[in-house]
Amino acid sequence: MSNSIGHTASILQAKTFISPTSSIAVCGGGGRGAAIREFRVGPVVSVWATKRNARLRSGVNGRSLVNWRRSVSFPMAAPRRHRFVARAVLTTGYASEHERRFNLDGDIELQVDVTPPLQGHACKIEFRVSNSYDNLVLHWGGIRDQKEGWTLPAHRPEGTRVYKNSALRTTFQKSAVDSSLKLEVNDPLIQAIEFLILDEGQNKWFKNNGGNFHVKLPQKAESIQDVSIPEELVQIQAFLRWERKGKQNYTPEQEKAEYEAARAELLEEVAKGISVEEIRRRLTKGNDQGKANEKPQSLSGSRIPDELVQIQAYIRWEKAGKPSYSPDKQLREFEEARKELQVELDKGSSLDEIRQKIIKGDIQTKVSKLLEKKSYFTPERIQRKKRDVMQMLNKYVPELVEERTFVKKKVFTVVELFADATERDAGPKLFKKIYNLGDKQLLVRATKPGKIKVLLATDLKEPVTLHWGLSKKNGEWLAPPPSILPQGSLSLEKAAETPFSTPAIDDGNQVQNLEIQIDGNDFVGMPFVLLSAGNWIKNNGSDFYIDFAATSKPEGSLPGDRPGDGRGTARNLLEKIAEMEGEAQKSFMHRFNIAADLLDEAKKAGQLGLAAIFVWMRFMATRQLIWNKNYNVKPREISKAQNRLTDSLQNIYRDCPQYREILRMVMSTVGRGGEGDVGQRIRDEILVIQRNNDCKGAMMEEWHQKLHNNTSPDDVVICQALIDYIKSDFDINIYWKTLNENGITKKRLLSYDRAIHSEPIFRRDQKEGLLRDLGNYLRTLKAVHSGADLEAAVSNCMGYQAEGQGFMVGVQINPVRGLPSGYQGLLQFVVEHVEDKQVEALLEGLLEARQDLRPLLTQSHERLKDIIFLDIALDSTVRTAIERGYEELNKAGPEKIMYFISLVLENLALSSDDNEDLIYCLKGWRTALDLLNRKDDQWALYAKSVLDRTRLSLETKAEWYQKVLQPSAEYLGSLLGIDQWAVNIFTEEVIRAGSAASLSSLVNRLDPVLRRTANLGSWQIISPVEAIGYVVVVDELLSVQNKYYERPTILVAKHVKGEEEIPDGAVAVLTPTMPDVLSHVSVRARNGKILFAACFDGDILADLRAAEGKLLHLKPKSSDIIYSSADERELIGAGSNNQKESSSLPRLSLVKKKFSGRYAISSDEFTSELVGAKSRNISYLKGKMPSWIGVPTSVALPFGTFEEVLANGLNQEVAKRIRNLQKELDAGDIRTLGEIRSTVLQLASPPQLVQELRSKMLGSGMPWPGDEGEHRWEQAWLAIKKVWASKWNERAYFSTKKVGLDHDYLSMAVLVQEVISADYAFVIHTTNPSSGDSSEIYAEVVRGLGETLVGAYPGRALSFVCKKNDLNSPKVLGYPSKPIGLYIKRSIIFRSDSNGEDLEGYAGAGLYDSVPMDEEEKVVLDYSSDPLINDGNFRQSLLSNIACAGSAIEEQYGSPQDIEGVIKEGKIYVVQTRPQM
């Protein structure tokens, strides 16, 4: 039962169209968009309404109706003529006209029955769906006029929900045979009902031929007599309206509109069947013959209390779906609520009765809380708009162009030369750094050839004394033992002082130096400062500190010592920044102006140039650089310089969309800046605070002096610390807690040019004023210094005029033009909920705000900078909110974690220049959520694939950051003497500050949940072999593939790509990355009897890494590995078994192949003397396969062709060069492998080879590339040479050496096939390689070409198994996570086919290259539209056909097969098969 009162009556504006037609339209009030009611009429009858002479004279609150009439003076003019006959037309054949049937889907049928309204009753509509689903919902609205949108009837079934304020949703009642629903429509203005039906369980819509269902409603069955409305009744009705609206002063136009609206209200009552006499009695209720002028009762009721109006307004707001209202709309809502209550009073209800009716449950408490929060019409949750996520797509991928400019030889300083001269035989370095002391330098170096030796040297001209101590723990000063004090030292209470020696180089350049030797290992570091010419010299205001435990990388400030020498950076720009740092240190104004001057050069250098600016600004923001060096700058000058810089960044953002991501990072580091007045207010307002609150001395005066000298981002923290201190009832510990948590220590406060020595001390009577004024001041500080502060960014965009005595007086910030309608309410919601502990609704609001803002970010806008900073602030708030929401997820189920992942992923996509993969991950998560909600038993398995892909996307993002930022951080860090720890973690800290880190945390939280649900376990066993060995931890398997381990080794590798060679001596490879089970490295592991497995449990991996150097015993189970400590006796036993097994293997050898005299042969000429097994197997299958399995046509360049081409006179120089390189290779110089490959590509093609290959290809029905032009043959020839050159691939060369094959005897035939432009590619092993089960086929499938499956492409393929006795029932083991698919137009592929592949006991397949003539196109894959994923019938059919093909080929050969093939338009093609190893 609703606790609302009625529904708001329509306010009609009387627009009566005088027309000879058969209808009259009456417009509904409310201004624009008002509904139009059309009444059917018979022959037009003219009715003259005459002005009555009788006048109402009764007083109304001391004012007569007559006086009101005169003062309001509605224009009465001449009597009006109204053509209006409202009469319903009786219908015939009711059953046929008012019963509608619709076929929804198959045997699902909808029947709609409409019962016409009788006098005083509603129109009834019944919906019945036969053979229906369980979760049907009617999505509906009323139609008043076809030109207008849906209206939402106030009378609606219980449980009806309002959807986005534009439709109603009512749930069908399910019975045993059908689903039904009944509606009653009592609004006479509604002419029809429009609707759709939604199956919420399957998210499926039922429509009427693509549009809405439309059911016209019949009018009342009985006629309404021709009527006219007497003018005196219109006059009384207008008076009542005027009273209800608070007796406003109307303009003449408003008076006229009100009068006509009153007439329209009465006409509406007539249309409902109420007679004129009944209307008269109602309006003049209580009058007798002698008291005709007594005021109407409706005007005599009591005044309605505001508390009831507030509650009724809240009820209206809840019914409307809790929309976000503007201030004006809120006022209108209160007025409408008041009107509704007034109507109840007019009907005779008392205030007590109304109160009892509407105050139910906890509604009064809800309203009170909202009023306290001043957020009356703020929704508890934002209703997100439905958007196509592809609208977020960005595909801006800027190229990283390394500078190719002449590098000037650096002129080294005298200190650097001294350091280089003393470097020799110094011993292992513990610490080394050169500090800039203005235009002078200080060298600090600690080495440990035995004892710790500390060397200090400087080119300061004045004598220098070292004030130093030692530390046993960080931050400690201890007096050095007297035994180690150098000559001339003075021992103090917790320190010592030692003078530097006389100059060591006497050539006009003075270098003072000092060496100290420290015995033992008791001390961890050495703090010190310098004293020269009466001045203390510190390290940016802090003590210098030598960390003896550090193993720092070279700082790069010595000759030849610079990391990478600036490779992969905008080197010239970084060096220019370093040269200008001395000037930039003077103040923020200097630094920002220098940065603005360098932006043009940075823009020309592209992404690396802008990365250089970012690295510099971040070193500044993290206080690695000096902020101010004894330079007095006015805050408005800093603000002006900051504004100049951010304006320039905004312009690049607008003009260069490919750099927007890095530009956002720069802007968030710099801060917004502002016009001069904003900066000057920093100075002015601190004076106002001091004056207003009588706090002119002590700490406040010291801070005032600091602010006048040079303001910095530290001031934001200091201001917040003061506010926290005052709010905590003046707890000084809270003051220091806020400072320390934000990196400000007492030392830092003392290091300012105008130091802050004192702690704050305030009186209690100052509390209220200080909180008010400091709160306003904090906003001013943030407006200048913070680029990611939400409140400041919102204020800058939405506009504000600050209040508060002495603050922001007369300062108006105008709102940004073009913001979406309702955006202010959306931001209001975000700001009011920004500290909520339950963050889901906040995250939705933040993302909705970012989505609404996105179109403005891609346009040229006069306030683009403010829009960018608002978006940066919203982005930053998402990150802080999600971190706060981790607690909310501790007890959450997978659905909520997945939803949070989708939100954070959306946020990351909105901030990325190249976000295509992120968007497809987002679509994948939404699909996974839908599967979960539908209780699909595959949801966890599918979600795991999306999770794996999301991880890959995050890894790609991190690699991009590392590639773009870290080289610049290292090079600039070396130039500026930045602390090495800050350089080393630079990129890591940037990543941790963004959404990518939050997303990674959520993914890690969900992974074990999905694995448990999908019964995946913690391991994927690829090659199940028991192993014993010593644990060695490596970063990449690729980095050790050529290594030889002398003892059995278990490799724990962080990264395995899939095409590596497993090094000799390795008995197991364990990794967290999951290569395909059929990848080359997986095949090699199984063939080499090496344990190979992927581990998905971080704790297990950490345990294994911690066991480095220990001997472990690994026992694989079906989905687990049991590991335990082992002893040497077990290893000896295992070693003897391995030796026996190894000795039983046949000796491998190659027979050198000779040239047959033919450059090209057709498939019917393939023999073991001419081609390898790959070509012969394809030839063998030709004509032996069922018609539904295709085998591509093939020709080949046989064995010996390469050697013959090399011996041709055209290639004498190439042959000579290869012979010389081969000698170097035989001597052990493996660097020549790459040179040999490059030399092979210089071969010229003999004319006879071209002629023979052309003849064979055309004769076999294949296209000849040269027919498309000479350049096409050159492309084909290059591809052939690349196949030959792959004989000298590193992994192939070492693999053959490992098994004792003579590399010189390896011959390379080339199989030539036409490329099939595949929809899917697959690899089949007809015996399950993981379990060895010969009754089960195992296969993997990818989109596009198969190179992503057999090559080193990240991600997993779709994998499945199928029993050979039930080939129609494939079982999916894992869904695909590969982000990239390869596609190619019609082309030719040249496949390697050597005599070193498929030898017994040796898996040489995949060592050599297959090269298409045309480059493949890399396509980012969207699995949400792939029928293999979303169409169960298609998937079952396709996988079953693949399994059948594998079974047929195995049957043909009579042994297990390793098969590669593709699918094009449903047809299977086998491109190669070989015995399964």
Residues with a catalytic annotation lie at: 1080
What's the half-sphere exposure (Cβ side, CA atoms, 13 Å) at 1325?
23
Spell out where 202-361 has E strands. 204-206, 213-216
The helix/strand/coil state of 129 is strand
Q: Which pairs count as long-range contacts for 634-637, CB under 8 Å and 24+ apart, including other chains?
A: 634/679, 634/680, 634/683, 635/679, 635/680, 635/681, 635/682, 635/683, 635/707, 635/711, 635/784, 636/676, 636/677, 636/678, 636/679, 636/680, 636/683, 637/589, 637/676, 637/679
DSSP state letter for 1287: G
The CB density around residue 1009, as the number of other CB atoms within 10 Å, is 18
> How does strand 1189-1190 pair with strand 1411-1412?
unpaired
Do residues 1015 and 1101 touch, judged by C-beta distance below 8 A? no
- CA pair distance 1472, 1350, nearest whole angstrom: 13
Considering only CA atoms, which of 555, 518, 531, 521 is closest in space to residue 444? 555
The helix/strand/coil state of 52 is coil
Listed in sequence order, the residues at least 6 apart from 168 whose beta carbon sits closer than 8 Å to its beta carbon are 138, 139, 140, 141, 152, 153, 156, 160, 161, 162
Considering only CA atoms, which of 767, 768, 769, 793 is closest in space to residue 779? 793
The helix/strand/coil state of 891 is coil
Give me the amino acid identity at 838: Q
- CA pair distance 279, 272, nearest whole angstrom: 12
- CA pair distance 847, 867, nearest whole angstrom: 15
- CA pair distance 256, 66, nearest whole angstrom: 17
Considering only CA atoms, which of 1025, 948, 896 is closest in space to residue 1374? 948
Question: Which neighbouring-strand residues pair with 516?
Answer: 454
- CA pair distance 309, 300, nearest whole angstrom: 18
The CB density around residue 32, as the number of other CB atoms within 10 Å, is 5
Question: Judging by beta carbons within 10 Å of its beta carbon (0-12, 13-18, 19+), is residue 1136 exposed, middle or buried?
Answer: exposed
Considering only CA atoms, which of 940, 29, 975 is closest in space to residue 410? 975
Kindly state the helix (H) or strand (E) to which residue 1070 belongs, with its residue range: strand 1064-1071
- CA pair distance 955, 1157, nearest whole angstrom: 52
> How does strand 1064-1071 pair with strand 1091-1095?
parallel
Measured at the alpha carbon of residue 611, what is the angle toward residues 607 and 612, in degrees to the nearest 5? 120
Do residues 419 and 431 touch, judged by C-beta distance below 8 A? no
Measured at the alpha carbon of residue 325, what is the angle toward residues 323 and 331, in degrees to the nearest 5? 130
Do residues 1335 and 1365 touch, judged by C-beta distance below 8 A? yes
- CA pair distance 1075, 1144, nearest whole angstrom: 30
Token pair recorded at residue 10? 């329509």
Give me the amino acid identity at 115: T
Listed in sequence order, the residues at least 6 apart from 1284 whose beta carbon sits closer than 8 Å to its beta carbon are 1202, 1240, 1243, 1308, 1310
Do residues 35 and 149 touch, judged by C-beta distance below 8 A? no
